[in-house]
Structure formats: C-alpha cells, structure tokens
Amino acid sequence: MRTSLDLELVAVTKRYGNAVAVNNITHLFPAGSYVCLLGPSGCGKTTTLRMIAGHETVSDGAILLSGRDISHLPPAKRGTAMMFQSYALFPHMTVRDNVSFSLKMKGEDAATRGRKADEMLELVGMGHLAARLPAQLSGGQQQRAALARALITRPQVLLLDEPLSALDPFLRLRVRGELKKLQRELGISFIHVTHGQDEALALADQVVLMNNAVIEQAGTAREVFLTPRTEFVARFMGGHNVLSLDGKRYSLRSDRTRIVAPQDRGMDVAVVAHEFLGTHVAVNAIGPGDTELTAMVPEEEFRLAPIEPGQGIRIGWNPADLHPLGH
C-alpha cells in the first residue's frame, strides 16, 4: 500500500563519464519495510544506496521521501542515515562520543547528547560498553555502535551497506536476526545492500534484485524466489535448474526433482558430482544439450542407493513445477 512516508526513486540514473552505473530506475520502497538490494558485484547497488543517502549526486531523475524531493539535499537533511560497511567509527572517541557525534554537530548540549546516546546504546544492547574505545570492541559490538550512531539521527530510512560482511558466519546469523527485530521495533524502513541471496531471503519484506544497472525483479522474498522472472533471477537466487523444453525456457526448483526409474517420464542425465549438504545431497548432472541439472536427494535416500560420478540416471519432475521464464 502506498503511504505518504514512502521512499521513491523516479527515473534515477547515475553516469560516471560514459559508464552508466544506475540506469533509469523507478521504484517505490514502502514505508516501514525491510528491503534488501541484492545483485552481483558491479550491478549498481552501492551507487543506488549512496544516491539515496546523498553521498553521491543523481545524474538524472529524482529521489522523493514522504513526497519531498530530497535529491539535492545534503545527507544530514534528508531523513536518511547510512551505516557503512567499515563502520567508520572514530578510533580516538569513546563509543558514547561516537554515537552522539552528529548531535554535537547540531549544537545539542553535552548532557542531552550523552542521554540520547545512552538510550540508543541501550536499544542495541551496548549500554554497558559506552565508555570503551572502538578498538576495545569485538566486530559485532563495533557494528552495533555504528548502528546506534546511525539511528541517533532518528532517520525515516536507515541505509545499510553490506552490514554483515565483516562478521563471522555464526555472528552474522545472530546479528541478522537482531537487525530484523530492530527494524520491526523502530517501524522505519531499512534498505540493506547485500551480495547474499540467503541473507536477502531471510531478512527482506521486499527483495530488489539488480543486474547491469537496472532492477531485474522486485517483490517479496517468496515471489522472487518462487517465480523468477528471468533466467538471471533463477540462477542468481539459486536452488533452481534452468531447462529448455520444446523451445521454451523454464525454471525448476532443484528440490522438486527426483531420481526416477528408467521407464518413468524424465530426462536421462550423466552424474558429474555430488555434494553432501547435511539434510540433502546435491547431485549435479549433465543432460541433453549440455543442460546442467541439480537434483536434491534426501540424505537417507542417497545413503541407501549411492550414486557415483559417471553414472547414468533419470531425473523426473511434476510438470506443474515447471515455471516459465521471460527474457
């Protein structure tokens, strides 16, 4: 539903000389939603985020927040705040002073700044570490300090540039849950740039998948994963096979394929490799016309009837699971 607090990109383009980093993007980011900007390296995600933040100028088009054109406002006047990948904390300042820095710039008095910083640090579970220097914090704690510093400006939209990439895999999962919870509690929009489709699926109310400077597909995590519009989306989101049948292109979830008997309907393929994934074994195979197929075989089934590279098998599926792809 469209509300007056939405963030809108209207025909936004960014050129660097002759190169087009973002090409005529129009998109509505609904207020209060968790949006993941996803896509391969160089597709224009960071440039889009930086234009929203005001750290990059717009070559063409407009950025509207709550119906107000913010395209030419300085970052601090936009109602947005950015959390950088590097966290960019001042090393010589305590966590509290880092968090309250922007309030100092606005001329707020020391007592008010300290109180607001402490409130924000409480919110991210860092109240007890307010007097430390950034170097005395773990990666996860630095990340929370950076989060508190961005949130203290009370933004309508928080922009996060690969906020989890510096964390180890275990911490990444935990912090990811915390980010989502925080977004719900604050009720503001988070726009989170990531390379990771799993991260986007886990977090996002809306996934915006970019490729070659444009939005390839946007929708709920379910929509983008279950109904990929193009081959690129199916391949990028993972978990899909792409098949050409009777001259038409389809995606087929790899967990919807199964190994069938030679007389059953299916495709004859040669097994190339298999990979143990815990609950399933991914069996990679090559079929007619060099079609690459991955079948997810439940671990137990695989154990009872192991398959080896070089072996011929037949892979079947329910025709209802074929999803047509556009161009």
- The answer to whether residues 307 and 296 touch, using CB atoms and an 8 Å cutoff, is no
Determine which residue in the list 35, 36, 38, 47 makes contact with ligand ATP, applying CB under 6 A: 47
Per-residue x/- track, 193-232, ligand ATP (CB under 6 A): --x-------------------------------------
Binding of ligand ATP at residue 21 (CB under 6 A)?
yes
Q: Does 191 bind ligand ATP (CB under 6 A)?
A: no
Phi first, then psi, for residue 182 (nearest 5°) are -60, -40
Smallest distance from ligand ATP to CB 38, Å: 9
Nearer to ligand ATP, 183 or 194 (CB): 194
Partners of residue 108 on adjacent β-strands: none
- Count the neighbouring beta carbons within 10 Å of the beta carbon of residue 72: 12
Separation CA 300–CA 109 (nearest Å): 65
Q: Which stretch binds ligand ATP (CB under 6 A): 45-53, 71-79, 117-125, 289-297?
A: 45-53
Q: Give the residue carrying structure tokens 């489709």.
A: 197
Region binding ligand ATP by CB under 6 A among candidate stretches 35-43, 183-191, 285-293, 319-327: 35-43
The yes or no reply on residue 116 touching ligand ATP (CB under 6 A) is no
Binding window for ligand ATP (CB under 6 A); candidates: 16-24, 70-78, 90-98, 283-291: 16-24
Stretch that binds ligand ATP, among 34-42, 235-243, 273-281, 290-298 (CB under 6 A): 34-42
Q: Quick one: 18 or 263, whose CB is closer to ligand ATP? A: 18
Minimal distance in Å, beta carbon 44 to ligand ATP? Answer: 4
Q: In what order do the strands lie in the sheet with 7-16?
A: 19-29, 7-16, 60-65, 68-69
- Residue 19 is a binding residue for ligand ATP (CB under 6 A): yes
Q: For the CB of residue 221, give the shortest distance to ligand ATP in the complex, in Å.
A: 19
Q: Does residue 111 interact with ligand ATP by CB under 6 A?
A: no
CB 54 within 8 A of CB 80: yes
Query: How many residues make contact with ligand ATP (CB under 6 A)?
Result: 12
Report, in Å, the least distance between residue 200 CB and ligand ATP.
13
- Is 86 one of the binding residues for ligand ATP (CB under 6 A)? no
Residue from 11, 16, 86, 306 binding ligand ATP (CB under 6 A): 16
Q: Is 42 in the site for ligand ATP (CB under 6 A)?
A: yes
Residue with Cβ nearer ligand ATP (88 or 131):
88
Residues binding ligand ATP (CB under 6 A): 16, 19, 21, 39, 41-47, 195
